[in-house]
Amino acid sequence: MRVKELSDRLVDAARRARFQVEYYGKREDHSLMAFHRVPEDAKASVYLSAGVHGDEPAGPMALLDLLRKKAFRDDVAYYLVPLVNPLGLEAKTRENDKGQDVNRSYGPTPSTPEAVAHQAWLKDRQFDLAICLHEDFEATGFYLYELAPERLPKDDPRRTSHAFPSPARDLLAAGAEHLPIDLSEEIDGFPADKGLMRPPEERTETWTEDLPEAIQLLRHHAPWCFTTETPSTAANIVDRVACHGAVIQAGVNWLLHHVS
Ligand SMILES: [Zn+2]
């Protein structure tokens, strides 16, 4: 599917699901867009992003699938950034058209046009939970990165306001309904425990420039941030889309259990 077509389908599905569509920038012919739906009595707020890497199509398609199924709850505020790097998706490359990894370009001085525009949109927004949808072409199954409030500075009030028990195992179980868990003991150079990755603190705390989106989100926008990774070569697209969707729903259910 061409990106323009996917983008049109996303906008159409978002409007039908009563989301507001915002355009926060442009890359060549492609609009950068965000969708939100914020009920007055929202019990919690959830941010979802996809398409940061262009060779990882399941994330944007999972958001399209959830929008079409009207699977977003009425008592939660949702913010979706469904196609962060459209030129990468068009070219089926991890990087953008300039060969830059957008997911290493967030931080105090964002270094790609995609991250500059995306961070301007994020600016002062706060969410209870963020989930970034990714894929891994080397993975044999599904796995998850967790960044939890304990990673925030000691004086950050969100460390206590959001000190809920981690949902990571439940999220993995939800994903495992559709895909096997990647049981590798090391992924991306970090130890993995039955599909769960918690990047070492020294790594996340000293990293100041060219950040992944997830670290930027944790520091400024969401005390809980998960990154889902589905195996882009080892499984079919239908199961990968379903896996991301199941994890999102499990994450929202966990959040509601703790905030309401
Ligand atoms: Zn990725």
Query: How far away, in angstroms, is 53 Cα from ligand 1 center?
Result: 5
pLDDT(1) > 70: no
| pLDDT bracket for residue 237 (50, 70, 90) | very high
pLDDT digits (tens, 9 = 90+) for 129-174: 999 999 999 999 999 999 999 999 889 999 999 999 999 999 999 9
Instruction: Tell me the mean pLDDT in the region 170-181.
Output: 98
What are the b/e assignments for 167-191, b being 16+ CB within 10 Å?
A: bbeebbebbbebbebbebeebeeee
Average pLDDT of the chain to the nearest whole number: 96
Query: How far away, in angstroms, is 136 Cα from ligand 1 center?
Result: 6
Instruction: Tell me the mean pLDDT in the region 17-36.
Output: 97
Instruction: Quote the domain boundaries for residue 189.
Output: 3-259
pLDDT(180) > 80: yes
User: What phi and psi, each to the nearest 5 degrees, are found at residue 35?
Assistant: -120, 140
pLDDT(260) > 80: no
Give percent of the chain with pLDDT exceeding 70.
Answer: 100
Measured CA angle at 33 (ends 29, 34), to 5 deg:
175
Query: How far away, in angstroms, is 14 Cα from ligand 1 center?
Result: 23
Residue 30, classified by CB atoms within 10 Å of its CB into exposed (0-12), middle (13-18) or buried (19+), is: middle
CA distance 156 to 213: 20
Instruction: Tell me the mean pLDDT in the region 207-229.
Output: 95
Query: How far away, in angstroms, is 9 Cα from ligand 1 center?
Result: 22
> For the whole prediction, is pTM greater than 0.85?
yes
CA distance 68 to 17: 7
Indicate the number of domains in the chain. 1
Query: How far away, in angstroms, is 225 Cα from ligand 1 center?
Result: 15
Instruction: Tell me the mean pLDDT in the region 88-94.
Output: 97
Contact 199, 190 (CB under 8 A): yes
What is the CATH classification number for the domain harbouring 173?
A: 3.40.630.10
Tell me what pLDDT residue 208 has: 87
Query: How far away, in angstroms, is 247 Cα from ligand 1 center?
Result: 16
Tell me what pLDDT residue 254 has: 98
> CA torsion angle for 92, 97, 101, 103 (degrees, to 10)?
-80
Query: How far away, in angstroms, is 51 Cα from ligand 1 center?
Result: 8
Tell me what pLDDT residue 207 has: 86
